[in-house]
Amino acid sequence: MKISIKSAEEIKKMRIAGKLAAEVLEMITPHVVPGISTGELDKLCHEFIVNVQNAIPANVGYNGFEKTICSSINQVICHGIPNNERVLKDGDILNIDVTVIKDGWHGDTSKMFLVGKCAPHNQRLVKVTQECLYKGMEAVKPGAYISDIGNAIQKHAEKNYYSVVEEYCGHGIGTVYHEEPQVLHYGKPGKGIQLKEGMCFTIEPMINQGTKYCKTLKDGWTVETKDGRNSAQWEHTIAVTSDGFEILTKRNNEFE
């Protein structure tokens, strides 16, 4: 398993791509309201990346995917396809996942949105899933094991009576969209590779209200919970630093 170690100069380029990806989510936030379609959200993101950022939307054409963002609503775990027929309703929860390429480097991130007034149990799912992401990131430092990330996520999810999707994981990233290592969101600590300064990868836990099991729809992309209960996901691209980690896709005011 060949894992690329990025130089300080390369991480600087990834920082630029990551910042752009974060800016897409910041730009789209005020538009995520009841009555807008996921197709309209996709168009806004596409135009912003291409015309304002002068960057490339990585998802367009990737393995046949035609859209700029993945828009995953309620029971959709990941890879939801935007369309003009699906209009957001009051109480929906939505994940927007976007990847931007700038000067050949990728920035990959996603955020959950509460549409209108959401039920407390959905608000809680979204909040705990974000906490799972942060717990996973806090396990990152040189010398730690990659499974420490998944263990921290799984413990927090299960402590809150949720389950972790096992079929999908985080991944190495750089000039290649998906590369080694795979970053599982569950497992026992102290397993797998040891982390080194300069590694860059995503952490993107998918947490379900019900069971961990999922199904892929006939479109070949959309993944839903098997039991029809809701799912949430948050994602950041991070770099391993000399003493911990740096969030390359951090949004403005994220921790305020």
Kindly indicate the confidence band of residue 119, based on its pLDDT and cuts at 50, 70 and 90.
very high
Kindly indicate the confidence band of residue 253, based on its pLDDT and cuts at 50, 70 and 90.
confident
- From edge to edge, which strands make up the β-sheet containing 223-225? 76-78, 223-225, 214-216
pLDDT per position as a tens digit, 41-80: 999 999 999 999 999 999 999 999 999 999 999 999 999 9
Residue-averaged pLDDT of the chain: 97
Please determine, for residue 256, whether its predicted confidence score (pLDDT) is greater than 70: no
> d(Cα 24, Cα 29) in Å, to the nearest integer?
9
pLDDT per position as a tens digit, 153-179: 999 999 999 999 999 999 999 999 999
Please determine, for residue 1, whether its predicted confidence score (pLDDT) is greater than 90: no
pLDDT per position as a tens digit, 97-107: 999 999 999 99
Q: Which amino acid is at 37?
A: S
The number of angstroms, rounded, from the C-alpha of 162 to the middle of its chain's C-alpha atoms is: 18
Please determine, for residue 25, whether its predicted confidence score (pLDDT) is greater than 70: yes
